[in-house]
Amino acid sequence: MPSMRRIKVFGLLLFLAVVTLLFWTASLRQQQGLDAETAGDFYQKTVNGLNKKPSSAGGLGDDDDQEVSKAMAQRLKEAAQVAKDNANTKAPKPDPPSILVGVGSAAEGASERGVAGRKKFTASEAQVPVSEEETEKDHKVDAELNSILKKSPIIIFSKSYCPYSKKAKQIFSQYIINPAPFVVELDEHPLGSQLQEALHVMTSRKTVPNILINGVSIGGGDDVAEMHRTDILIEKIRDLGQKKIDVKRRPVEVEIEDESHGLR
């Protein structure tokens, strides 16, 4: 027959087993209830999400997303405006009407002519049409100037009434030069003013006389007089003539009957 001590131990174990079983069954019921509640909540949220209509702010469904979309749109609009303002700032401003009036005239276009009088146009003037008459006149000036420069290695552009021109021609008459210098009296030439304008651009000298040796200007009356006085005129002619010009001083004893002797 079992002892009293063993009966107490067995009873205690049985009591513990019953308590454990009760706690386990209670926990199991609670877990099943939570799972059912969680499944119901997930189902309800899914149904609500599917039934919710997208908002007008890019398909976002809540107020925070709408605010973000609005802020992004505003920043894009501001960036586009800044880029537009920068482009307008960098763009060149059109010339005022006062500058465009009269473009191509002798008054404003004289300094814009190229070599031999050809008209050069800036970017703002390129849109101004050039008349056929002006183009034809430019071609005539080009052709005439090129023709003159072929006459002789030494060209004296002069005016018949100019005392400085007479002085330069008188000095050259004191030399024997071969080929002889060629004289152009601009006041007697039909294109004299246009030729003088072309020479201004070509040589940076706008007055007469204008003496050219192989297309290079050596100056005017005073310049030639100084070179003659210092005995360097012959050296200058030979240097620019590149052995194409034979020059020497005319003997003093030979009387010069005509100041333009030796010139043609």
* 176, part of any domain: yes
Q: How many domains does the chain have?
A: 1
Q: In angstroms, what CA-CA distances link 3 with 6, 7, 116?
A: 5, 7, 144
φ and ψ at 213, to 5 degrees? -120, 115
The predicted structure's pLDDT at residue 31: 65
CATH of the domain at 126: 3.40.30.10
Helix, strand, coil percentages (3-state) for the chain, rounded to 5, are: 55, 10, 35
* 215, part of any domain: yes
* 205, part of any domain: yes
* 261, part of any domain: no
* 233, part of any domain: yes
For 242, the domain range is: 115-249
Instruction: In whole angstroms, give the CA distance from residue 162 to residue 171.
Output: 15
pLDDT by position in tens, the chain (length 264): 567 777 877 777 888 887 788 777 777 776 666 555 555 565 566 556 556 554 444 444 556 667 767 777 777 677 777 777 766 665 555 555 443 343 333 333 434 444 444 445 454 444 545 567 778 888 899 899 999 999 999 999 999 999 999 999 999 999 999 999 999 999 999 999 999 999 999 999 999 999 999 999 999 999 999 999 999 999 999 999 988 899 999 997 654 555 444 454
Instruction: In whole angstroms, give the CA distance from residue 8 to residue 14.
Output: 10
